[in-house]
Amino acid sequence: MATMGQSQAERAEVEAVLRSGIFHRAPKVASFFRYVCDRYFEGEADKVKEYNIALEALGRPATFDQKKDSIVRVEAHRLRKLLSDYYAVAGANHALQITIPPGQYVPRFQVKGSDNEVESQAKSTQAPPAVSVEPAITLSDPRMMPPSRSLAKLAPGHSGHLRSLVSKPSTLYATAGSMEGIMGTTRRRSAVLGWLARTSFL
C-alpha cells in the first residue's frame, strides 16, 4: 500500500500530466486517464474493467458490448502512446512516471531509475551478437609449397594464382569460401583443401 507521501506524489504527477496539454485534442483519452487514476487512488483498482470504463468514462450505454465495440481498447492504445511521447520529451525529467501496461487498464507509477527501468535500458543497449567469420587460410612456411605441376593438377588454369597465394608467409590471404572460384568443382575443392590441411595451411 502506498504511503501518504507516495500517494501525494502520484496525485501530483497525474495533475501534471493533465495540465501538460497532451490531451488537448483527445478529451476521451483524458476522461479515460482521469477515471482509471481516480479508481486507483480510491482503492478500487479491481473495478477498472473494460465495461466500467466504457460506461463511466466514455459515456457508453448499459447495453455496451465489448465484443462489438472496441472503444476502450482503442482509447487505451492512444493513452499509452500519449504517455510514452510525453515522458520521452516534456516529462523526461520527472522522478515519477505513469504507464498503462499492455493488456491492463490500472495505472502504474514508476520511479525513474528504479530496477525495472534500469533493466529495460540495459536490454536496449546490449551489444549485438557477434558475427561468426570464416576461418582464414594463413600460410607459415612457403617451403612446404608443392611443385607447380601439382598445383596445376589440383586447380587447372589457376595454378599461378594459387601459387602466389601460398608463397607469402605470415599473411592472411583468403578465406576458404573465397578460394572456391579458384578450385572449381566440389571434388577439386576437396582436393585442394585436403592438400592445404595436410601441409598445415588450414
For residues 126-154, give the mean pLDDT: 47
Domain's final residue, options 90, 124, 158 = 124
* 155 shares a domain with 105: no
Indicate if the pLDDT at residue 58 is higher than 70: yes
* 118 shares a domain with 141: no
- Grid coordinates representing 17 are 500530466
Domain that holds residue 12: 4-124
User: How many domains are contained in the chain?
Assistant: 2
- How would residue 100 be classed by pLDDT, with cut points 50, 70 and 90? very high
- Grid coordinates representing 10 are 502520484
Give the C-alpha separation, 110 to 96, whole Å: 6
* 60 shares a domain with 140: no
Domain's final residue, options 124, 156, 184 = 124
* 174 shares a domain with 83: no
Sorted by sequence, the CB contacts under 8 Å of residue 29 that are 6+ apart come out as 23, 75, 78, 79, 82
Residue 116, domain member (yes or no): yes
Residue 153, domain member (yes or no): yes
For residues 75-88, give the mean pLDDT: 97
What is the average pLDDT score of the chain? 73
How high is the pLDDT of residue 115? 52
CB hemisphere CA count around 9 (13 angstroms)? 14
* 116 shares a domain with 81: yes
* 114 shares a domain with 184: no
* 93 shares a domain with 15: yes
How high is the pLDDT of residue 113? 74
* 108 shares a domain with 26: yes
Give the C-alpha separation, 161 to 154, whole Å: 12
Indicate if the pLDDT at residue 66 is higher than 90: yes
* 20 shares a domain with 109: yes
* 185 shares a domain with 141: yes
* 46 shares a domain with 95: yes
pTM for the model stands at 0.55
Give the C-alpha separation, 86 to 83, whole Å: 5
User: What residue has cell string 534500469?
Assistant: 118
Residue 50, domain member (yes or no): yes
* 101 shares a domain with 68: yes
Sorted by sequence, the CB contacts under 8 Å of residue 14 that are 6+ apart come out as 33, 34, 37, 98
Domain's final residue, options 89, 124, 159 = 124
Side chain identity, residue 153: K
How high is the pLDDT of residue 164? 53
How high is the pLDDT of residue 170? 40
Residue 78, domain member (yes or no): yes
Residue 131, domain member (yes or no): no
11-40 pLDDT, tens digit per residue, is 999 999 999 999 999 999 999 999 999 999
How high is the pLDDT of residue 7? 86
159-181 pLDDT, tens digit per residue, is 555 555 445 444 333 444 444 44
Residue 129, domain member (yes or no): no
Indicate if the pLDDT at residue 122 is higher than 90: no
- How would residue 112 be classed by pLDDT, with cut points 50, 70 and 90? confident
